[in-house]
Amino acid sequence: MAELNQLIGALNHAADVIEENKQHLTELDGAIGDGDHGINMSRGFSFVKKTLDEGGFQTPADLFKKSGMALVAHVGGASGPLFGTAFLRASMALKDKTEINSEDYISILKAAAEGIKMRGKSQAGEKTMLDALIPAYEAGETALSQGKDTQEVLQAVKAAARTGATDTEKLVAKKGRSSYLGERSLGHQDPGAASTALILGAIADYFAA
Ligand code: ADP
Ligand code: MG
Ligand code: MG
């Protein structure tokens, strides 16, 4: 599916998509949080881009590790440490692989979700980024078990993440700032789930191009 240069390209594209959606993400967070998610993500991914530009990576794991450290170091708010942990877990899952295939990609997403669960003390159904990420890797696992090719796996992940994010409208927030709203969080999409769907969508689009 991808070696180092393509992963750099995919992450750069994800960073661009986050930047394009900065306002949208901030509006989502304005409705049920403190209105900074777009700003936090834009800032974090601008540092990821800087890290990517600096280069000098030995392996894909190294790339994810340095990107994750950039997110942890530069994003305030809940999302920085959580996305940072996701990237660091991805790095650990890759070990010294020089190339990743679609199975590796799904393993990365699963490892990232496990990291977020642990760091955020959160689980599926609490109206967070996990409600995009968990259905995404599950759809990827299903696609793999059906013998689908890399493009189909990536598209299945993208579609399930998008549906998962949209479906957070039906969930009551149990974690993070929006949990203070309780039932009033219903009818609104979780911003972290929305940004997760954007990132996974950008990765699928990059490899489809
Ligand atoms: P903050 O809430 O600190 O302002 P952001 O607005 O950048 O940070 O990020 C909010 C997002 O973080 C939420 O939409 C949600 O998806 C995610 N989030 C918050 N707390 C948790 C948690 N404990 N576990 C998983 N995700 C969380
Ligand atoms: Mg916020
Ligand atoms: Mg905040």
Residue of minimum CA distance from atom 11 in ligand 1: 192
**Ligand 1 probe mutation, 22, 37, 74, most atoms within 8 A of CB:** 37
Q: Nearest-CA neighbor of 83 among 40, 141, 27?
A: 40
- The pLDDT of 119-136, averaged and rounded, is 98
Closest ligand 1 atom number to CA of residue 193: 16
In this predicted complex, what is the ipTM?
0.99
H or E stretch at 2: strand 2-3
User: What residues does 99 pair with on adjacent strands?
Assistant: 3
3-state secondary structure of 99: strand
Tens of pLDDT, residues 68-105: 999 999 988 899 999 999 999 999 999 999 999 999 99
Kindly report the pTM of this predicted structure.
0.98
- The pLDDT of residue 209 is 82
Task: Name the residue type at position 28.
Answer: L
**Domain tally for the chain?**
1
Tens of pLDDT, residues 15-60: 999 999 999 999 999 999 999 999 999 999 999 999 999 999 999 9
Average pLDDT over all residues of the chain:
97
User: How far is Cα 37 from Cα 7, in angstroms, rounded to an integer?
Assistant: 24
Joined tokens for residue 182: 């309780």
The 8-class DSSP code of residue 3 comes to E
Centre of ligand 3 to C-alpha 75, Å, is 10
- The pLDDT of residue 172 is 98
Tens of pLDDT, residues 101-118: 999 999 999 999 999 999
Q: Tell me which residue range forms the domain holding 66.
A: 2-208
Sign of CA dihedral 110, 112, 113, 118: positive
CATH of the domain at 67: 1.25.40.340
Q: Which residues line ligand 1 (CB under 6 A)?
A: 29, 33-34, 36-37, 40, 77-79, 82, 116, 120-122, 128-130, 175-177, 190-193
Position 187 confidence tier, pLDDT thresholds 50, 70, 90: very high
